[in-house]
Amino acid sequence: MKRIVTLIGFALASCIARAATAAETFGKVQKQPLNTTAIAMFLAFVVATLGITYWSASKTNSMKDFYNAGGGISGFQNGLALAGDYMSAAALLGLTSMIFFNGYDGMLYAVSFFVAWPLLMFLFAERIRNLGQVTIADIASFRLDQQRIRTLMAFGSLTVVCFYLVVQMVGAGQLIQLLFGLQYNYAVVVVGVLMAVYVTFGGMVATTWVQIVKAVLMLFGASLLALLALSQFGFSLNDMFAQAIATHKSGAGIMLPSKLVADPFAMLSLSVGLVFGTSGLPHILMRFFTVPDAKAARKSVFVATGFIGYFFLVVMVLGTAAIVIVGRNPTFFEGGVAGGKLIGGGNMPVMHLAKAMGGDLVLGFLSAVAFATILAVVAGLTMAGTSAISHDLYAMVLKRNQADHAKEKRVSRIASVAIAGVAIVLGILFKDQNVAFLVALTFSVAASVNFPILTLSIYWKGLTTRGALMGGIAGLVSAVGLVVLSPAVWVRVLGHVTAIFPYDYPAIISMSIAFFFTWIGSITDRSARAASERDQFDHQFVRAQTGIGASPAATHS
């Protein structure tokens, strides 16, 4: 293991060095110069995380350790890891740019993302920890048909993982190409290799600590930049907002809802997708299995909610401060005209703000943090996909819970490498494609497949296997179908003049369809198996509420 990590470290350093040379000599002309400070800080992060992976490998001796870190992560540590899994580069760059351009509308996104966490804490946290062991399929199949429900949930999880991985890989390639001056393909390969290393050798232990380190760096970097920005306004929020209103072309309009809420139904559907989709993301939910008990699960969500809420408040400050500091500085605009087209594209306000506040040092640090953010998210996604393949499909469905642990471990490692390989290939293939629709698809599938089945399996005695299958399939088909027919795909990707379905986020419809078909499929099921499944609900309910019968860790050893 030590030799492998060392070789990988040298290979990545060589790859980055060669990519930098290639970018300067043969690559396309970049809008941002090569940022040696960012590359140096990123290499330091890579070395540190490879050291974490080497340390984690010595503590990953069983499948229980691989899947859920042996249930030994504390509530506070898991809260930081959850925050690290959730505070993405898209939030840092995307939300600040939305606030920079649209003001209030960008804050609506932050509110929707944040509201998901109290819901997750009160609805799922303790019950998932009490009922599950490795994946969310453990909960859904607790009293239902193991083979069919596990297969459905595994494919639902893999669908979410694959779509979200493509978004992250494309984002990584474009972000690093822009900020570091490295070629797109090199950046995608580096991310893919690192995510395979973290999961294959370190399992959930390495993934957790990578996310913790990334969360600390993100919170520190964003807070530092916010303090530097606020110092320009005498640390007065009133003064900052007043100057933002005076600077922005919309004036006081930036403090009012505009495009996003022009159609209340569109805003409602977007919010439903973001709020309930979060409660169906497998890489978020599986973190509840890494803590020793339900109390720690509840604490982890409480800690994560605090950090995430604080982060979004900081993002609000960064976006608003950028309106003034970046918006008035012509050096950040093409042609040297303030208010024109931003150098580097529409997602660069926070990076230009970092440059204005701290020069190359702060810009380099924030750029490295942005890349570290992507690494942490893809590591969590890969871990979720690997668990779905090796635990649900191989050990529980194919081998019917009789899998040899050595073979299961081998399958898990093959799965992690395969997922990384697929992510690299798809990231390169989607290089020049508009992948924004994949975000809508990811949250819509999570809200329409995973969330309804999990909720009803925990809270509704009447749920049956037939109902869950009907609802899950209906939710998956409607979510994918409506996204394809939406403006995001039908018009902007496929080139049609008008969209058949008028909204980019269809979650409110697809989730309703899933709940309806789950309900109708269950109440019309009069089979003996359905009666038995309903009878088992009381036992499940007691365990979910009290934890009686729940093991302190997974049953694998």
The string of pLDDT tens digits covering residues 86-144 is 887 777 888 888 888 888 877 777 777 788 888 888 888 899 999 888 898 999 999 99
Average pLDDT over residues 14-20: 38
Say yes or no to pLDDT of 553 above 70: no
Ranges of each domain in the chain: 2-436
pLDDT above 90 for 488: no
Neighbours of 257 (CB within 10 A): 16
Q: What is the predicted pLDDT for the residue at 31?
A: 46
* Per-residue pLDDT tens digits for 340-366: 788 877 778 898 999 999 888 888 888
Is the pLDDT assigned to residue 33 strictly greater than 70?
no
Structural tokens at position 294: 């339900």
Residue 15 has pLDDT above 70, yes or no: no
CA dihedral 415, 419, 421, 427 (to 10 degrees): 180
Q: Which residue has the higher pLDDT, 28 or 311?
A: 311
Report the percentage of the chain scoring pLDDT > 90: 41
pLDDT tens for each residue of 519-538: 999 999 999 999 999 999 99
Q: Helices in 388-435 by DSSP H: which ranges?
A: 405-429
Mean residue pLDDT across the chain:
84
The mean pLDDT of 219-246, rounded to a whole number, is 93
Per-residue pLDDT, 476: 93
Both tokens of 382, joined, read: 């890969």
pLDDT band at 262 (very low <50, low <70, confident <90, very high): low
State the pLDDT at residue 375. Answer: 83
For residue 4, name the pLDDT band (cuts at 50, 70, 90).
very low
pLDDT of the residue at 468: 96
Whether 14 shows a pLDDT value over 50: the answer reads: no
Supply the pLDDT for residue 454.
94
pLDDT at 24: 35
Res 327 pLDDT > 70: yes
Q: Quick one: pLDDT at residue 440? A: 76
Tens digit of each residue's pLDDT (9 = 90 or more) over 149-173:
999 999 999 999 988 888 888 877 8
- Rg value, the chain, Cα: 23
DSSP of 212-253: HHHHHHHHHHHHHHHHHHHHTTTT-HHHHHHHHHHHSTTGGG
pLDDT at 5 over 80: no
- With bands split at pLDDT 50, 70 and 90, how would you rate the model's confidence at 415? very high
By the 8 A CB rule, do 444 and 482 touch?
yes
Separation of first and last alpha carbons in the chain: 21
Residue, of 6 and 339, whose pLDDT is higher: 339
- Over 90: is that where the pLDDT of 450 sits? yes
Q: Which CATH number fits domain 2-436: 3.40.190.10, 1.10.10.10, 1.20.1730.10, 3.30.390.30?
A: 1.20.1730.10
The answer, yes or no, to whether residue 265 has pLDDT greater than 70, is: yes
Query: For residue 202, what pLDDT is reported?
Result: 87
Mean pLDDT of 443-453: 93
Measure the CA–CA gap between 24 and 7, rounded to whole angstroms: 26
What span, in angstroms and rounded, lies between the C-alpha atoms of 47 and 66?
Answer: 22
Length of the chain: 557
Q: Which residue has the higher pLDDT, 464 or 248?
A: 464
Helix axes of 465-484 and 436-445: crossing angle, nearest 10 degrees: 160
Separation between Cα atoms, residue 135 and residue 68, nearest integer Å: 9
Distance CA 458, CA 460 (A): 6
Q: Give me the pLDDT at residue 532, please.
A: 93
